[in-house]
A and B are shown apart, each in its own frame.
Chain A
């Protein structure tokens, strides 16, 4: 029997083989995509980010405020927010507040392609004074973000008021399911949605395809990936984004607006001084008023009608409780 296996060796060898086979089977079973539907199984519910105030509002509280007295962007902003009932109406003690200006382009404030830095810094100041714990200012730019943030003047202005300014990095985007009409799965810029309150601070300007852009189109800055496909149906995608993103407050900067060559401009001659700031809890109404400032009519802006049809707001801004100061 000397050439036969010892019992110990037999057990060891057969046991090892069995363990390797069993281990392989376990890994394969755990990772088994039966039916090849791994992607389909990732289906999810539509996600909506609603930052609006949910509590009952006093009946006399204004829904839209338009500041048009004076020419200083900071005091216009203050006046508009004050007319809407003050920032304390929107911000609670200890809130994390995200402010989303338009920092899309490598342009200077005088070219009016981005939100005016004084408007942004005033909003930061108001939000902090209302008791916010942390204020974040960010956007996902079109041009090189370092340039956009610096040359728009917003980085310096917001930082000087103590805001945390986050530059968009690729790692800050996560795919989310918007489940809109044209926008389904899309990478979303997380700092904009990880917040207690969100304030949209766009600039009103001309856009050759959409005719006018302001509050609703500003949510393009929410998306990563290749945004260039959106333009094939720009109106529906703007409406989809506005459905996904419901901000606490919208403040449109119309101190200096771009009336042609939008959305980038590039020439001071393309801009016009309007000296107005609009604050509203209804982003559709704010845009409906804003478009008049660059010489457009709300009937020409298709996404406004879509938004109204979806119940996101009203294009009849004059029917809202309004204050003009």
Chain B
């Protein structure tokens, strides 16, 4: 079966004319020497390539793909030249273990391939370390008054992400603080091409690893070669990029849903790590609960270590995170059908860097004349960027992994600075109309989402944003759904929204007080937010020392469920946990009637008793909406006190009290 054409217009890609004149049949070597019928060297081809390797201008070299099969070899003129060539250049030492002519790759390339592997491992390890450190762990050496901040720039990978910068630049017309670091990634791309994808990106490394670990039926031989050729579907990522950038222009950083760094933080942070903790916790609990002292100690020690280094001391749960985990596994599974599925097909960051890699100073040069169509380059290709002879190299798709040059036994591929671009396509191969249509789709999708009632008209009461969040439409301009805030929250209070914040707000952070409340003195979510959707507020600003505190919502009582209100039972745990001073929850002392549970003697009506209770009330001018009351309410299934977003500091419309009527006298 003829494979799908990889290019819209093959003539753009196919060499306009063969690079070398065609030879007469008796000058041609056998087509693929090491697959030939007879073992041993193929004289003519070896001599030609050897001569070329020595810098001699071969009179003619065959274009292998144009050679008809079965032509007998003949002595060419280069063979005669060879002995007399008294050049100082020593011929390369051929490696008999390598296929084909056995010309070894340059030492620098062989070293660089290993450096690249080391870089991938190191950056992936760094990424995981930062993710493990995205939580506050106190210190024995810290003083009581020390401010609580994370010691590491745990959001560093996101700060280095130019796609995030581009989206927020288009939506807010500013580059937020640390996002300036992404210029470094851009500079790297402008010099070396998409090295970020092949050398740094943790999701790319994960794909590289998974595609290697679980090769599919397309993982070997001819089908693997076919899978690694450039395919039409690789354009999809460019169309996605254009759609996301135009969505940013109309005010939504929704592209973060597809940003690879956001995906790994979100999926590993909210799904993989909590799931691993769940499994490890249950496994080690068996050891801890055994009756053998040594087993108990070991189990406890391991749990202590994991709690202090990898996760935290209690199990975290995340709202509907099964969906994030499922998509993550599904994406990785797609490697069985398309190797490096995400990088090649969907990654908008890869596409962004692909657009810029056209200006890269470093690149590939091909000597088609030497190519024997052995396809070893394709076997190892990561980006599906057409490294093989006979077609032009696709610089925008190339991950700069250098595998092709390392694999090439014929000295065809050379990576160098300022290569000639005779056989390179630098621009993304996208159709103009489709690109325009995609961009248009991004442009209209956001207004369409917003005329649904979720944003302006009928804001969801449970879409409680983290403290320090900017006003909702500006929030959507900035939030990239990276989940850093949810990972760092010490109380497991922040969760990825499903549709609470509208379809556009998918996976943006919301506070679910029933699972965890907002810790009064904590400002870590703002510290790790890379885009300023949550501002870097101070404790003083948040707690309102000498100023108005930051409010994220207001608590309300459901008096029908509240124990002192409707069941004549003392409680007020809510009041105990209320962190403000004076407390936003105040109590009304009351002696209330309570019917005795048992009927009186002789079948009389049960006696009426009197119980003293304290009935709680909320002072909306003092309530900061932290949700501690809702978290600790003993009415387990549906608490008798709950927080909604109304009264939040960031909004001028989502309010209860008359403006200016703030009772926070300092």
Contacts and interface: CB of A to CB of B under 8 A. Distances in A.
A147 B138 CA distance: 6
A208 B138 contact: no
A159 B139 CA distance: 10
Interface stretch (A137-145, A245-253, A311-319): A137-145
B303 A264 contact: no
Q: Which 3 pairs show the lowest CB-CB distances between chains A and B? A: A153-B144, A150-B138, A266-B581
B599 to A, nearest CB: 23
Interface string A218-246: 00000000101101111000000000000
A265 B576 CA distance: 10
Nearest to B575: A208
A234 B139 CA distance: 33
A147 B521 contact: yes
A192 interface: no
A220 to B, nearest CB: 11
Contact of B490 (A144, A155, A234): A144
Nearest to A208: B575
The bracket for how many chain B residues form the interface is 35 or more
A117 interface: yes
A263 interface: yes
Contacts of A109: 144
Interface stretch (B66-74, B182-190, B284-292, B429-437): B284-292
Interface stretch (A19-27, A123-131, A166-174, A281-289): A166-174
Given A106-B519, A150-B142, A208 B634 contact: no
Interface in A245-273: 261, 263-267, 269-270
Contacts of A174: 289
A52 interface: no
A152 interface: yes
B519 to A, nearest CB: 5
Contacts of B577: 142, 264
A231 B581 contact: no
Interface string B630-647: 001110100000000000
Given A156-B143, A208-B575, A261-B583, A151 B521 contact: yes
Contacts of A150: 138-139, 142, 144, 146, 148
Contact of B139 (A155, A171, A228): A155
A248 B187 CA distance: 67
Interface residues of A, number: 44
Contacts of A265: 581
A209 B519 contact: no
A261 B141 contact: no
Contact of A167 (B138, B522, B579): B138
B303 A169 contact: yes
Interface of A: 106, 108-109, 117, 142-147, 149-153, 155-156, 159, 165, 167-172, 174, 207-209, 226, 228-229, 231-234, 261, 263-267, 269-270
Given A170-B315, A234-B570, A264 B579 contact: yes
B491 interface: yes
Given A264-B577, A270-B581, A172 B634 contact: no
Given A156-B140, A261-B583, A265-B581, A170 B313 contact: yes
Contact of A159 (B140, B490, B521): B140
B581 A267 contact: yes
A146 B137 contact: yes
Interface string B117-156: 0000000000000000000111111111110100000000
A209 B490 contact: no
Given A150-B148, A156-B142, A232 B579 contact: no
A171 B301 CA distance: 10
